[in-house]
Amino acid sequence: MFRARKPLYSLFCGCKRLPFAAGVTAAFLILSLFSLPGCKGSDTPQKHTVTVNVKVLTDFIPSVLFITGNQRSLGLWDAEGLRLSRSGPSSFNVTFDTDNRNLSFKFTTGSWWQEGIDTTYSRRKNYIFDIKQDTVINLVINSWSRKTRNGYPELDTDILLPGTPFLALTSPWKFSSSDSPEFALPGYNDSGWVSVQSQIDEQTEKIGWKGKGWFRFGFYIPSELKGKTVALRINHLGASRLYYNGRLFQSSGETGDAGNEYAPRQNRVWRAFTFDSTDFHLFAVRYVNLEWESTRPAGFSSGFMIYIKDADSMFSEVYENTKSNIREQLIFSLIPLILFFFHLILFSFNRNQRQNLYFALSLLGFAGITFFNYQRYIEYEPSIILLYYKLNALSIAMAIFFGLLTSFSLSYKRLPKRWIIYFSIFLTISITGFLFPVNQTLGMINYIFFGFTAIDIIYSGLRKDRLNLGGSWIMFLGFMALFFFVVLQILIDYNVIRSFFGARMIFVYGFISLTVFMSVFISYNYALINKNLAKQLDNVNELSKKTLEQEKINSALELESRLISLENERKSKELESARQLQLSLLPLNFPGSEHLDIYAGMETASEVGGDYYDFFSKDDSGLICVTGDATGHGLKAGNMVMTVKGMLNIINPGADLGSMLSEINYAVRRMNLKQLYMSLSLIRIRGNSAEIACAGMPPVFIFRSDPGEIELIVQKSMPAGGVKSFPYKSYRTGFNAGDIIVSVTDGVTELFNKEGEMLGQEKIARTIKETHLLSAEEITKHLFSLVSDWAGDAGIKDDMTVMVIKKLS
């Protein structure tokens, strides 16, 4: 089926409270990794000016040249994004602003038919640059992706070569919403029509698309193609009449123009097409799609596509694909369907083994997924195709829900109460999937549903008090195999990885793996039961009190060992969470200008502390630089840092720094965090002055370029939250060219070497003085080098943070 965007979904469109809550939390974390892979911090992006100079080194010099790319000023991949100015006979340039560091773009002559490329970029790749500052980019165009003649596209003879990918005639088409039989004639003047792409997904507003219109594609062919036969297919979800050089070549569906009722049809047939012997050729399409607004949310294109490929290999390919699809549909649908009846019969023989009933219903869902997945790519009627999408979504939800119940029945004596929640989700997905039009949101909901059930199945299978059925680990491995193939399917659907051996439906192998493991589990379970019965009959008279006591001791030791392992795992996870939280609170970039050079660094200890640095700049209040150190370790320290960071974001930045510390102290004290405090240094830089205020922090070092000495700013004060009220003061001083301000946490000044000696302030001051001519980053690195040399084999016991602010002019 013709899809202009990503597939909707090839596959998806009695417990203790504390462990389950932990499982739900883990589910949220894992799902957030899938749904927010590209999430970044909230720092305001910086704008930079980019100048692009282009030299065209081809015989063909276009009259106009456009640049289009991944931001609004470049047209968001519109072929006529931003026009370049001509700076010479074969030279062009353009200047624009960007706040996107990852700049990606291409050059066109006004349509995607013809792209400019150099020797290092193929037609299918973009120019990609990392913009960190104002940048000048010089490029050359050595060739063009396709040929043109007299302003029209010219087809290549490559389309006759076996194995060559099909040619998609996406642009440049001309569009008119009017209707006249003359529009099909080659001699008709369409110069006043709008240039579009045939899919028109991103151009519906631009062309005023109302569901009907004429499209014309004029092109030239070389002499080698005259009279040659190729395979041609027009693909859409509406109805069309395709004219070639004024003659009706193919109708697909009923457009409703000749008194007939509108009847859309999905065309899946490749037809033999022979080029005329003329130089100039024309495709004209009368296209109607009245349901485009309702089908577009599902990922279907509003327009159409015409494909051309060499006839011999195409028809052979169609035959092989059809044969393969029918074979795979039968195999992967019949296997779970047969096993559905098998497990249903097993349940009828033994009603106590509910897992057979649940697994049978899950297999029925699997059979539906496979059948409808293949069937929707075979059907011609759009309404039936959309019905298959809905039935596929229902099958997915059914397979997921009853697969979860299968796992529950293998892990619990009775279904945990949360099964009702999952049933409600399953019911909601099923009902809304049928009541509302097909859309990609339903596929994403099934992704999320699958993610939560996968986490729950893993959690249930690893519970220490799970139901100990013989061979349950086999089923657990079966579910792991299913999850593996499903994740592969998701990555393939979103083009993260390539498909294996050309197969797009990888998930079916997960279903097959699960059924194989289930069969092994049943065989193993019955064999284990018989074996245990025989063993019990042989050994029942030999059991003694000593043996029983020894088994109790062994069980206790095993339980103790597992508890220790779980506790160590919990502590490791908490430590890593604290470390990630600490690092996530730090800014991604350092503020700077032609007057200031700023750099900060942090080294974390094995026991995560609460060191923190940040920068704030609002209105004309100047730049406020913050270093801090929360008492304690782990998540508690991280929570304190998060709290103070939030306060700094809402406190009036223009206020006196001492007053700001007083507000923070009062708020932290009111929170009653018990033994949690926050040491802070606030430094405001405004023009040639600096304001400093500290709360329980080491002295601030100021290097004076004149006379070249170090000044220590010592402010004896309590950390924030230490007392209810404390008179914090701020110190104001000049800050001239060449001056340097250094703020450190106590992890630096109170660092001990292996002899038990403290680093102190003198060695830090000497290092600053010796490196004052270097950049802020280099001074920071020298200070950390001093710390590393001093600590030696003793290592660091506390986090260390260094911030360097250097006045340039």
Query: Do 359 and 455 lie in a common domain?
Result: yes
Q: Is 8 within the bounds of a domain?
A: no
Least confident interval from 390-399, 568-577, 625-634: 568-577
The predicted pLDDT at position 608 comes to 62
Query: Do 619 and 752 lie in a common domain?
Result: yes
Report the C-alpha gap between 532 and 538 in whole angstroms: 10
Domain boundary among 145, 177, 205: 145
Q: Is 163 within the bounds of a domain?
A: yes
Q: Is 576 within the bounds of a domain?
A: no
The predicted pLDDT at position 10 comes to 35
Query: Do 626 and 763 lie in a common domain?
Result: yes
User: Band of the pLDDT at 802, cuts 50, 70, 90?
Assistant: very high
The predicted pLDDT at position 588 comes to 84
Report the C-alpha gap between 298 and 392 in whole angstroms: 13
Query: Do 101 and 162 lie in a common domain?
Result: no
Give the model confidence (pLDDT) of 365-378 as tens digits: 888 888 888 887 77
Report the C-alpha gap between 617 and 638 in whole angstroms: 23
Query: Do 119 and 234 lie in a common domain?
Result: no
The predicted pLDDT at position 467 comes to 64
Q: Which residue has the higher pLDDT, 13 or 616?
A: 616
User: Band of the pLDDT at 16, cuts 50, 70, 90?
Assistant: very low
User: Band of the pLDDT at 592, cuts 50, 70, 90?
Assistant: confident
Question: Which two structure tokens, joined as six digits, stand for 200?
Answer: 């028109």
Average pLDDT rounded to a whole number, residues 627-633: 84
627 φ/ψ sector (left φ>0, alpha ψ -120 to 50, else beta): beta
CA angle 295, 299, 304 (to 5 degrees): 75
User: Band of the pLDDT at 21, cuts 50, 70, 90?
Assistant: very low
CA angle 760, 766, 771 (to 5 degrees): 130
Q: Evaluate if residue 55 carries a pLDDT over 90.
A: yes
Query: Do 608 and 687 lie in a common domain?
Result: yes
Least confident interval from 233-237, 534-538, 588-592: 534-538
Report the C-alpha gap between 455 and 31 in whole angstroms: 10
User: Band of the pLDDT at 607, cuts 50, 70, 90?
Assistant: low
Mean pLDDT over the full length of the chain = 83
Q: Evaluate if residue 24 carries a pLDDT over 50.
A: no
Distance of CA 748 to the CA centre of its chain: 39
Question: Which two structure tokens, joined as six digits, stand for 709?
Answer: 């000495």
- Amino acid identity of residue 512, one-letter, is I
The predicted pLDDT at position 626 comes to 96
Domain boundary among 86, 110, 145: 145
Domain boundary among 531, 549, 565: 531
Q: Is 239 within the bounds of a domain?
A: yes
Query: Do 355 and 495 lie in a common domain?
Result: yes
Q: 107: domain CATH number?
A: 2.60.40.10
Give the model confidence (pLDDT) of 128-184 as tens digits: 899 989 999 999 988 887 788 888 898 888 877 877 778 889 888 999 999 999 999
Give the model confidence (pLDDT) of 271-327 as tens digits: 999 999 999 999 999 999 998 888 887 778 889 999 998 888 877 777 777 787 788
Q: Is 327 within the bounds of a domain?
A: no
pTM given for the model: 0.51
Q: Evaluate if residue 6 carries a pLDDT over 60.
A: no
Residue 628: C-alpha distances to residues 508, 549, 634, 667 (Å): 54, 57, 15, 16
Q: Which string of b and e fits 601-621 if b means at least 16 CB within 10 Å?
A: ebbbeeebbbbbbbbbeeeee
Query: Do 651 and 604 lie in a common domain?
Result: yes
Q: Evaluate if residue 646 carries a pLDDT over 50.
A: yes
Q: Is 339 within the bounds of a domain?
A: no
Q: Evaluate if residue 400 carries a pLDDT over 90.
A: no
Domain count, the chain: 4
Note down the domain range covering 481: 17-38+350-531
Instruction: Note the residue count of the chain.
Output: 809
The predicted pLDDT at position 444 comes to 78
The predicted pLDDT at position 26 comes to 39
Query: Do 24 and 94 lie in a common domain?
Result: no
Q: Which residue is it, tokens 């998609």?
A: 168
Report the C-alpha gap between 446 and 394 in whole angstroms: 10
Q: Evaluate if residue 539 carries a pLDDT over 80.
A: no
The predicted pLDDT at position 471 comes to 67
Instruction: Note whether 515 and 339 are within 8 A (CB).
Output: yes
Q: Which residue has the higher pLDDT, 192 or 513?
A: 192
The predicted pLDDT at position 697 comes to 94
Query: Do 23 and 82 lie in a common domain?
Result: no
Report the C-alpha gap between 172 and 23 in whole angstroms: 53
The predicted pLDDT at position 487 comes to 83
Instruction: Note whether 337 and 303 are within 8 A (CB).
Output: no
The predicted pLDDT at position 5 comes to 34
Q: Evaluate if residue 42 carries a pLDDT over 60.
A: no
3-state secondary structure of 474: helix
The span from the first CA to the last CA of the chain, in angstroms, equals 64
Average pLDDT rounded to a whole number, residues 182-198: 92
The predicted pLDDT at position 470 comes to 62
The three-state DSSP-derived secondary structure of 289-317 is CCCHHHHHHHCCCCCEEEEEEEHHHHHHH
Q: Which residue has the higher pLDDT, 188 or 543?
A: 188
User: Band of the pLDDT at 578, cuts 50, 70, 90?
Assistant: low
User: Band of the pLDDT at 124, cuts 50, 70, 90?
Assistant: low
Rg (CA), the chain: 35
Question: Which two structure tokens, joined as six digits, stand for 237?
Answer: 């979800």
Query: Do 599 and 490 lie in a common domain?
Result: no
Query: Do 645 and 701 lie in a common domain?
Result: yes
The predicted pLDDT at position 510 comes to 78
Q: 165: domain CATH number?
A: 2.60.120.260
Please report the DSSP string for 201-262 in residue order.
TT-HHHHT--SEEEEEEEEE--GGGTT-EEEEEEEESSEEEEEETTEEEEEESB-S-SSPPP
Question: Which two structure tokens, joined as six digits, stand for 595?
Answer: 């007057």
Q: Is 573 within the bounds of a domain?
A: no
Q: Evaluate if residue 23 carries a pLDDT over 70.
A: no
Give the model confidence (pLDDT) of 498-536 as tens digits: 766 656 677 778 777 877 887 787 777 777 767 777 777
Q: Is 735 within the bounds of a domain?
A: yes
Report the C-alpha gap between 21 and 802 in whole angstroms: 39
Q: Evaluate if residue 54 carries a pLDDT over 60.
A: yes
